[in-house]
Structure 1
C-alpha cells in the first residue's frame, strides 16, 4: 500500500524539470505587456541600446523573473509595475547571456524600501569583543533568498547606465556569488579549469586595485571593491556592464573572464 504513493512521489519529482520548462515556455509565449515595454524604454535606457535579439531576450527574462519572484514593499513603499519592471530588467541583464533562462534559483523575494534603510548588526572586534553596529544601506543581498533595495537608488542606477554604479547589478551579483554558498567572489563556473582561471585573474586584479589605491591612482574599479573578494566581484560586475570599454582597456584579462562568464560583450552595445 505504501509502494504506490512512493512511486507517484518519485514520478512527480522526476517530472519537475519538464514541468518547469513547460511553465516557463508558457510564460514567454504570453505577449509582453505594452505598459511594461514603455517602462523599459522610459526607466531602463540600456534596453534601448541592446541589439534587437537581446531586447527580446531581456523581455522574456523579465517575464520569467516577475512570474517567479515576489516583490514586497517595506516601510510604506508601494510596489507597482514601475518598480517591478525597472528592478527586474536590471537584474536580468546579469543573466542575459546564460542558457538556463536567466534564473536566480536561490532568490525568492525582492524587498523594496522608499530610501536607504538601516541595518543593525553585531560586529566582532579584537579579542572577540562584540559591538553593535548600525549601518545605512542602499541595498543588500541575503543568502536566505532575499535582495533588499532602496527604490530611489535602484531607479537612479538604471537612469545612469554608464557611471559605473548600479545598486541592482551590485546586489544581484552577490546573488550569483551566493549560488554555491557564502559569497566569496567566485560564482559557480562549471569546471575546475574555469575556476582556476577565474581565481588567478581575480586575485591579480584585486591585488592591482589595492596597489592602485595605495598609490593614490585613479582607475575604473571603485575603491569599495578592495573591501574583500565578494565586494570586488560585485563592483567589477557594475563596471563590466556600465563601463565596459574602460574596464577592458584597464584590465583586459579581467574583462575577458567576466565576458566569458556572462556570455556577453557589453562594449558592442
Structure 2
C-alpha cells in the first residue's frame, strides 16, 4: 500500500523540486469508503485541511492503478490537491510551481470550466467543471492516464500542464 500510494506522489512530482509534503504529512488508508461523523456522504479520498491528513479508501486507490487508462486515480487526484494547497501557503521563492506557469494554466483552465459544465469538453469528467481545484486534479489524472488522448484533444492545455509539472508522460524514455 505504501509503495502504490507513494508512487502516485512521485509520478506527479517527478519533474518538480518538491518531493515531500510538509502540511499533509499523515496518510490514512481505510479498508472501504468512509464517512465523517454525522454525515451520510461516503468518500473514496479527500484532503482534510483541519486534520492535515490525506485520506484514501484502499479499494479506490487500487482500482486507480489496476485500471490505468480511465483517467480515474484517487491517489493522483488527492495529491494534486495537496500540492496546490501547499504551493499557496509557501513563500513566493519556495513554491512548488512556477507562479507564471501556474497562472497561465489557471487562465486556460478557467475557460474550460464552463465548457465542461455544458458537456462540451469531454476529455475531462464532469467533476472537473466544479472549480479550478477539481479541474487541476482531474486534469492530472487525465495527463498521466491518457496523455496521448489529452494531447490530441487539447494540445495547448496539455503543453501548459506539462510545463507546470515539468514533465511529459508521452515521452516514456525521458519524461523530463
Which TM-score tier does this pair reach, normalised by the shorter chain? Answer: 0.7 to 0.9
How far apart are residue 120 of structure 1 and its match?
Answer: 4.5
Out of 60, 63, 86, the residue aligned to residue 156 of structure 1 is: 63
Q: Distance in 2 between matches of 1:116 and 1:195?
A: 32
**Residue number in structure 2 paired with 1:106:** 23
Q: Tell whether the 8 Å contact from 2:113 to 2:130 is kept in structure 1 after alignment.
A: no
Q: Tell whether the 8 Å contact from 2:54 to 2:78 is kept in structure 1 after alignment.
A: yes
Q: How many residues align?
A: 165
Q: Tell whether the 8 Å contact from 1:205 to 1:254 is kept in structure 2 after alignment.
A: no
**Residue number in structure 1 paired with 2:6:** 88
SS at match of 1:161: coil
SS at match of 1:110: strand
TM-score (norm 2): 0.85
Name the one with the larger helix percent: 1
**Alpha-carbon spacing, 1:157–1:195, altered in 2? closer, same or farther (3 Å):** closer
How far apart are residue 195 of structure 1 and its match?
Answer: 4.2
Out of 214, 227, 231, the residue aligned to residue 134 of structure 2 is: 231
**Where do residues 155-234 of structure 1 align in structure 2 (5 Å cutoff)?**
155-179=62-86, 180-181=88-89, 189-191=97-99, 193-211=100-118, 213=119, 219-234=122-137
Moved over 4 A (4+): none
How far apart are residue 251 of structure 1 and its match?
Answer: 1.7
**Where do residues 15-164 of structure 1 align in structure 2 (5 Å cutoff)?**
83-100=1-18, 102-120=19-37, 133-143=39-49, 144-164=51-71
SS at match of 1:112: strand
Unaligned residue ranges in structure 1 (runs of 5+) = 1-82, 122-132, 182-186
- CA RMSD after TM alignment: 1.9
Query: Which has the higher relative contact order, 1 or 2, with Cα contacts under 8 A spaced 6 or more apart?
Result: 2
Name the one with the larger strand percent: 1
Q: Distance in 1 between matches of 2:102 and 2:147?
A: 22
**Residue number in structure 1 paired with 2:153:** 250
Unaligned residue ranges in structure 2 (runs of 5+) = 90-94
TM-score (norm 1): 0.57
Task: Kindly name which structure, 1 or 2, has the bigger radius of gyration based on alpha carbons.
Answer: 1
